[in-house]
A = this chain, B = another copy of it.
């Protein structure tokens, strides 16, 4: 008998009507003979309501107490969903993270799962019950309530699927799968039937926020087949699998983009060993995260050094870079916060030459100037002026025939 872990996010359980719809869906699945563990988030808006209460008394709120407070959000949902299932004649039983228990480390508000005891859940499943588990939360070894941070319910679902050796983990959300790119930018964007874990990781880290990146890593590590699908529309969604299991191997799976970056450049730096750390050290000390880094050594023995940061950190980073510029005797520190990053993602590019050339050619034909290039094994990213974003995405979508299903 197959065992599925379902996960329903905040909008899927946003009010009593939607909770009842989720219950209907679960009852149908159970009638097909599936054994089911269901992970739920807090009703949409609830976590923000609780955060506002907390900030009304302490700012910033104590992290241990904040976890006690926020954990009530999912606790409400598990009780209501279990009741809705029972109302439909479906035996069901709820568990908080602490009751399972899902044991985490002590890092309040961003805890990591250390261990899951599946004993109680397996006993309930053996009795034919649907088990409803609170996502996002756990408990330390000495009984303190913890939360896994935003999006942690996905992680709970994947971790439970791994611990229970479930056949599949189904993440129900408000989109019906993973697309070749954002349909709001390219209306011809196509839902992918399958995507590999590695591609999904690149897509997620590049701003396609269908799944929490930690849950994808977790699923990959423990070999849990993951499916993203809509809780509102029937459909197969997108299956996230290991490359080896994938029958469909397109060159390119999708185009991701990120509007939240800004570019910083220091020009004419005397090229000596240790220059990179002298530039990035002060940036790291200021707790500013760096994304792309590109360095080119010029012919005159001086070098240009460029990197990108989150756009919110642009001003702080530029101030730091100007001081570094003086200390190093570099020519100039400059920046640009009107850039975007566009990336082609696909495991197929590993074994195919010419992908980069085809990409650059497609952009050049539209007169789009490339300011930075960075590549990894399954991804090519370029930085361009933000005004070209939509044009670049559509040109690449067309050049790589992403609107057509691979044969």
Contacts and interface: CB of A to CB of B under 8 A. Distances in A.
A346 interface: no
B80 A71 contact: no
Contacts of A72: 72, 75-76
Contacts of A75: 68-69, 71-72, 75
A18 to B, nearest CB: 11
Contact of A96 (B50, B68, B93): B68
Give the one of A65, A72, A80, A96 with max B CB within 10 A. A65
A53 B80 contact: yes
B65 A86 contact: yes
A56 interface: yes
Nearest to A80: B57
Given A64-B93, A65-B79, A99-B144, 13 more contacts: A23-B57, A57-B83, A58-B83, A61-B83, A62-B82, A65-B80, A65-B82, A65-B86, A65-B94, A68-B94, A72-B72, A72-B75, A99-B143
Contacts of A62: 82-83, 86
A78 interface: yes
Contacts of A114: none
Contact of A76 (B50, B87, B96, B143): B50
Contacts of A98: 98
A20 interface: yes
A16 interface: yes
A86 B57 CA distance: 9
A66 interface: yes
Interface of A: 16, 19-20, 23, 50, 53-54, 56-59, 61-62, 64-66, 68-69, 71-72, 75-76, 78-80, 82-84, 86-87, 93-94, 96, 98-99, 120, 143-145
Give the one of A16, A57, A58, A71 with max B CB within 10 A. A57
A82 B19 CA distance: 32
A325 B19 CA distance: 52
A65 B53 contact: no
Nearest to A19: B57
B69 A79 contact: yes
Nearest to A23: B57
Nearest to A88: B58
A202 B386 CA distance: 78
Contacts of A57: 16, 19-20, 23, 80, 83-84, 87
A297 B56 CA distance: 68
A258 to B, nearest CB: 35
Given A16-B56, A86-B58, A68 B64 contact: no
A87 B56 CA distance: 11
A53 B76 contact: yes
A84 B58 contact: yes
28 contacts: A16-B56, A20-B57, A23-B57, A50-B76, A54-B79, A57-B80, A57-B83, A57-B84, A58-B83, A58-B86, A59-B87, A61-B83, A64-B93, A65-B79, A65-B80, A65-B82, A65-B94, A66-B79, A68-B75, A68-B82, A68-B94, A69-B79, A69-B83, A72-B72, A96-B145, A98-B98, A99-B143, A99-B144
